[in-house]
Amino acid sequence: MRQTETDYVQNMANFFREERIKLGWSTKELAEAARAIAMREGRSISLSQQTISAFEQGKAKRAPSWAQYVASALGNGALAAKEFESFEEIGQRSVLVECLPTYAGAGGGGTGEGDVPQVSFSRDLVEYELRATPADLVAIQIEGNSMDPDFQSGDQLLVDKRKRTLAQPGAFCLWDGDGYVVKYLEKIPGSEPQKVRVISRNEIFSTSERLAEEISILGRVVWFARRV
């Protein structure tokens, strides 16, 4: 059975913990050793004992960038030559896309404030199906029901930041002044100055008209996934 992203991150976390315990190291000692290796290679990494503890407890959804230095510290190169290569091979099948820090509203909007996390997606999906790079995209999660049934609360969407024009109607992520929302947008033909129709899929929410210059578009929705 093909190992999933979640599986390999969890296996990596378990392996790090087991090897650290075998060596009799604390998470603080492991963090210090990993930072020292990174420094020798000309890299400066921010890695604390709390970060390693959280990773070992299964709180990460993706392989951290510092994993290779922890691997080297634990195995003095032997781990990197054996176990870590398999982790790295799986990681090469995925790419990291920045995620909107808060929910995008389908109803109330999220502000997008806070640290910018990253989410792992299939490299084939991003590069071949969507013909994009990770930097072209932003991942968002829907909250609210104004776009039901097309997009439901909890759905994960990919938004292509290159696609901001309204030449064709479609679903877009936009800033409405209070937060980010997902709506269908449609230019109103013949309007002067140009106006845009802002449409909620759920009919209990009203459609509004806005001046095009008032709308700040993050990008067009190009993909979504839903938990069953």
Instruction: Identify whether residues 102 and 78 lie together within a single domain.
Output: no
What CA–CA distance (Å, rounded) separates 93 from 120? 10
Quick one: CA torsion of 76, 82, 88, 92, rounded to 10 degrees?
150
Instruction: Identify whether residues 123 and 207 lie together within a single domain.
Output: yes
What CA–CA distance (Å, rounded) separates 148 from 52? 40
Domain boundary among 75, 92, 109: 92
44-74 pLDDT, tens digit each: 777 888 999 999 998 887 778 788 888 888 8
Domain boundary among 92, 115, 130: 92
What CA–CA distance (Å, rounded) separates 88 from 8? 10
Map tokens 């609210």 to a residue.
144
Domain boundary among 92, 127, 157: 92
Instruction: Identify whether residues 122 and 16 lie together within a single domain.
Output: no
Instruction: Identify whether residues 160 and 105 lie together within a single domain.
Output: yes
Find the angle CA(105)-CA(108)-CA(110) to the nearest 5 degrees: 55
Instruction: Give the per-residue pLDDT at 84.
Output: 52
What CA–CA distance (Å, rounded) separates 74 from 19? 7
Q: Which token pair is 109?
A: 């909007």
Instruction: Give the per-residue pLDDT at 167.
Output: 86
Instruction: Identify whether residues 71 and 118 lie together within a single domain.
Output: no
Residue 61 belongs to domain with CATH number: 1.10.260
Instruction: Identify whether residues 111 and 147 lie together within a single domain.
Output: yes
- In the chain, the number of structural domains is 2
Instruction: Give the per-residue pLDDT at 182.
Output: 93
The model's pTM is 0.59
pLDDT in tens, the chain (228 residues): 344 566 778 888 898 999 888 888 899 888 888 888 887 777 777 788 899 999 999 888 777 878 888 888 887 644 444 545 555 555 567 777 888 866 555 544 444 454 567 777 888 899 999 999 999 999 998 888 889 899 988 888 999 999 999 888 899 999 877 788 999 999 998 888 999 999 999 889 989 888 888 889 999 999 998 876
Instruction: Identify whether residues 200 and 117 lie together within a single domain.
Output: yes
CA–CA distance from 166 to each of 174, 181, 188, 222 (Å)?
Answer: 12, 16, 10, 14
Instruction: Identify whether residues 118 and 80 lie together within a single domain.
Output: no
Question: What residues make up the domain containing 23?
Answer: 5-92
Instruction: Identify whether residues 109 and 174 lie together within a single domain.
Output: yes
Instruction: Identify whether residues 31 and 80 lie together within a single domain.
Output: yes
Instruction: Identify whether residues 36 and 136 lie together within a single domain.
Output: no
- φ and ψ of 18, to 5 deg: -60, -45
Instruction: Give the per-residue pLDDT at 43.
Output: 74
Instruction: Identify whether residues 217 and 105 lie together within a single domain.
Output: yes
Alpha-helical runs (H) found in the chain: 5-23, 27-40, 49-56, 67-75, 78-81, 83-91, 123
Residue 134 belongs to domain with CATH number: 2.10.109.10
